[in-house]
Amino acid sequence: MKTLIVIPTYNERENIPVMIDALLKLNQDLHILVVDDNSPDGTGNLVREVSLKQPQVHLLSRPGKQGLGKAYVAGLGWGLQNGYEFLFEMDADFSHRPEDLLKLLEHRGRTDFVVGSRYVPGGQTKNWGLLRKIISRGGSLYSQIILGYPIQDWTGGFNGWSRPVLERIKLDTVKSNGYSFQIELKYRALKNGFKGIEVPILFEDRRVGQSKMSFKIVIEAFFRVWKIRFQ
Ligand SMILES: Nc1nc2c(ncn2[C@@H]2O[C@H](COP(=O)(O)OP(=O)(O)O)[C@@H](O)[C@H]2O)c(=O)[nH]1
Ligand SMILES: [Mg+2]
């Protein structure tokens, strides 16, 4: 099954070459698309060099920082245009572990979508402060109550989608950009009758580089859940 891993990057030059290596070493015949927003640290050029040597590695370069959701809309859209059948979202910073990707990959062809989940039995977060734990777990419970589907990890961004799901949910009409982007994709998939499965993952906070998470992103998600529900 033609599979693509979409990785958005902004200033990830220390992480992305190591991540690409780790993914290729899984030996799963994966293709990788890095969606870079013209990172000032040169992440894009680095990936371009790798892509010249490795035909499975692709770069989608965008002119400036436009947020995670927009990067994913562009990257997943590129994947559909290029004929991929199962498409994963994954961070560059090793918060999403290549060994967990192996577990998610097992569900290709068996489910419409697969969610890497910190909040099902066996799932975990590591190296997180109490505030971040409360915001994340609270955000998922809040989403679950308002949206009414029994997903445990709504905000997580380590997910795989079969082609029909992404075609049906009309990616280019998704307006959410931060954490709410992940919430909106899951809600639209479920609302359209697709079936998903949650697979436990260990989410470890990044060791290298800086988080682009901000208070604004949390607030956006808090209000957007209502728009997602009633649009
Ligand atoms: N292309 C692109 N990538 C982004 C943007 N914001 C974050 N990322 C990437 O998205 C992934 C998750 O972001 P991160 O800062 O680690 O968020 P956190 O895990 O919530 O702290 C990382 O690979 C980032 O480099 C953006 O505006 N554009
Ligand atoms: Mg991160």
Looking at residue 212, its pLDDT comes to: 78
Looking at residue 207, its pLDDT comes to: 80
Strand partners, 203: 125
Q: How far apart are CA 95 and CA 175, in angstroms?
A: 25
Q: Which of 16, 91, 220 to mutate to test the pocket of ligand 1 (most atoms within 8 A of CB)?
A: 91
**CA 227 to ligand 2 centroid distance, Å:** 26
Of 84 and 128, the structure prediction assigns the larger pLDDT to 84
Alpha-carbon distances of 105 from 92, 109, 148, 198, rounded to whole Å: 18, 9, 27, 12
Structure confidence by residue, pLDDT tens digits, 10-24: 999 999 999 999 999
Most confident of 83-92, 173-182, 199-208, 218-227: 83-92
Are 30 and 6 a contacting pair, CB within 8 Å?
no
With bands split at pLDDT 50, 70 and 90, how would you rate the model's confidence at 61?
A: very high
Looking at residue 13, its pLDDT comes to: 97
Residue 60 has pLDDT above 90, yes or no: yes
The two beta strands, 30-36 and 57-61, are: parallel
Q: Which residue minimizes the CA distance to atom 21 of ligand 1? A: 211
Q: Which domains does the chain have, with CATH numbers?
A: 3-230 (3.90.550.10)
Q: How far apart are CA 51 and CA 32, in angstroms?
A: 9
Q: What lines the ligand 1 site, CB under 6 Å?
A: 8-10, 12, 35-37, 65-68, 71, 91-93, 95, 206, 211-213
- Look up residue 49 and give its two tokens: 């060099």
Kindly report the backbone phi and psi dihedral angles of residue 185, in degrees, each rounded to the nearest multiple of 5, phi listed first: -60, -45
Task: Of 57, 120, 114, 69, give the one whose Cα is nearest residue 87.
Answer: 114
- Atom number, ligand 1, closest to the C-alpha of residue 91: 23
- Look up residue 104 and give its two tokens: 């998610």
- Look up residue 204 and give its two tokens: 């470890």
Q: Taking all residues of the chain, what is their mean pLDDT, rounded to a whole number? A: 95
With bands split at pLDDT 50, 70 and 90, how would you rate the model's confidence at 199?
A: very high
**CA 193 to ligand 2 centroid distance, Å:** 30
- Atom number, ligand 1, closest to the C-alpha of residue 37: 1
